[in-house]
Amino acid sequence: MKKIILGAMILSFAACGEKSTTTETKTENKTEANSSESAIKNGIVITENGLKVSKAMLLHEDGTEISNDNTVGIGEVILCRIFVSGWKDENGQVKIGAGQTVETNDGTVVLDQEDLFSTLESASLEDAGVITLKATITELNKSIHDFTVHFKVWDKTTNADVTGSYNFKLK
């Protein structure tokens, strides 16, 4: 368990960006959380295309869960933690990619990151099981409080991927 958490933290730091993070992706099996008992929480919508997601949730920087209304304060870090399987490993190593986009409710892109892992040659299969993407809005515009994060996580060896999105609002 310690190694998985450490791996998640390593991937989390590799995925840390500027103001926000998101990824967009393709089709097939859509899943959305409608109850607190679901493994996919916070209204995260997931589309699987070769990779599988067993759990996904939004967390505060301290690891506590963000409430289901996805409301955070200005400058507060949002961690989107995704538990992913289906990677093609070579000698216990996988080649991962992850990108994200953050948009305002009127469609203005405030952050676009194509591949957060572009400098990471490979990761252990175990570490790739937990991907953490980071989003933070650091400036407040009085008229903009609602945001959508689109994210994509993919296997660079097979091009299998998972895409998703979630909404959040500022207090």
Helix (H, G, I), strand (E, B) or coil at 7: helix
**Is 79:168 a contact under the CB 8 Å cutoff?**
no
Adjacency order of strands within the sheet including 52-59: 52-59, 78-85, 130-135
Cα→Cα distances 8→20, 79, 120, Å: 18, 11, 14
b/e map of 50-67 (b: 16 or more CB within 10 Å)? bbebeebbbbeeeeeebe
Q: How do residues 100-156 score in pLDDT, each as one tens digit?
A: 999 998 899 999 999 999 999 999 999 999 999 999 998 877 788 899 999 999 999
**Is 160:153 a contact under the CB 8 Å cutoff?**
no
Q: What's phi and psi for 128, nearest 5 deg?
A: -70, -10
Between these two residues, 157 and 34, which has the higher pLDDT value? 157
**Is 99:115 a contact under the CB 8 Å cutoff?**
yes
13 pLDDT higher than 60: no
